[in-house]
Structure 1
Amino acid sequence: MRPRRYPAIDGLSARCMADLRRLERSRSFLEDTAEAFRRWKALAHGPLRLIADPATAQRCGIPGCCDVGYFRDHLEAVLHALPKKSGRELRAVLTPLDDEILRRAKVIQVDNLGVPWWRDQL
């Protein structure tokens, strides 16, 4: 049987990807991180209509369907579960995406200190 090929996340070293694969195998969410990253990147660089106004957004309650914050939640959990060096490396590729989403979505309020900005804001 051929070894499974995991999708790479652009900008991460082989060491960080290996740490990510180990983490995903131990937590039984194979390739979920690459998918979450792909979706978050698509949101950052996609059409502005994908960044919904919280006043008009319709959410079905299914994680990952209508609530794009689910993907960022997953990425945040992975950031904290990875070894420190790999976590910093992943954060370094996520920060520009976060910044781009915040820059483009003027309706996001970032002043609620108790809740991450991506929850219930997209």
Structure 2
Amino acid sequence: MRRRRYPSIDRLSGSCTADLRRLERTRFSPGATEAAFWHWKSLAHGPLGELLNPFSGHCCGIPECCGTAFARTHLETVLHALPRKSSRELRALVRALDEKILTRARIIPAEHPETPWWRDFLVQR
């Protein structure tokens, strides 16, 4: 049995986890959403310096290198692809992380009003 690289997403019901597994088998790679969730969670709970100065780093565009930069976009895609009940359940966890990041960050750059805030925030990092 192969060990999981990332732990399962905490507080998800069995039905939501099953929906997530089915979705990953058809549209994404197994474990991709768990990896994205844990990357996003590590940003929310990580060192405050990374959030205070979003202009301090850069994103190379390679998901394996800049996992956090693609994590929120992947989560958003999954939230739209899951069944409604499972999407609401996962969205509550993601929204809590979003709020933590927005509360801790001092500057969230915005390129365009229609662009999701996390894309501008992470591109500038």
Offset, 1:112: 4.2
Offset, 1:111: 8.8
Flag the 1:28–1:103 CA change in 2: closer, same or farther, 3 A: closer
What are the superposed Cα offsets for residues 42-97 of structure 1, whole Å, 9 maximum, x if unpaired?
A: 11011013336343332222125236231000000000000000000000111110
Offset, 1:110: 6.1
CA contact (8 A) 1:108 1:121 kept: yes
Structure 1 match to 2:60: 60
Identity across aligned pairs (percent)?
55
SS in 1 for 2:94: helix
Q: Which region of structure 1 is more displaced relative to structure 2, 50-59 or 112-121?
A: 50-59
**Aligned equivalents of 1:104, 1:51: Cα separation in 2:** 7
Offset, 1:34: 0.3
Q: How many residues align?
A: 121
**Aligned equivalents of 2:59, 2:7: Cα separation in 1:** 29
SS in 2 for 1:68: helix
Flag the 1:40–1:116 CA change in 2: closer, same or farther, 3 A: same
Larger helix share, 1 or 2: 2
Structure 2 residues without counterparts, runs of 5 or longer? none
Offset, 1:27: 1.2
Q: Does 1:23 align with 2:30?
A: no
Offset, 1:3: 9.7
Structure 1 residues without counterparts, runs of 5 or longer? none
CA contact (8 A) 2:59 2:69 kept: no
Q: Which region of structure 1 is more displaced relative to structure 2, 25-34 or 71-80?
A: 25-34
TM-score (norm 1): 0.85
Give the partner amino acid of 1:79: L
Structure 2 match to 1:46: 46
Q: Which region of structure 1 is more displaced relative to structure 2, 43-52 or 15-24?
A: 43-52
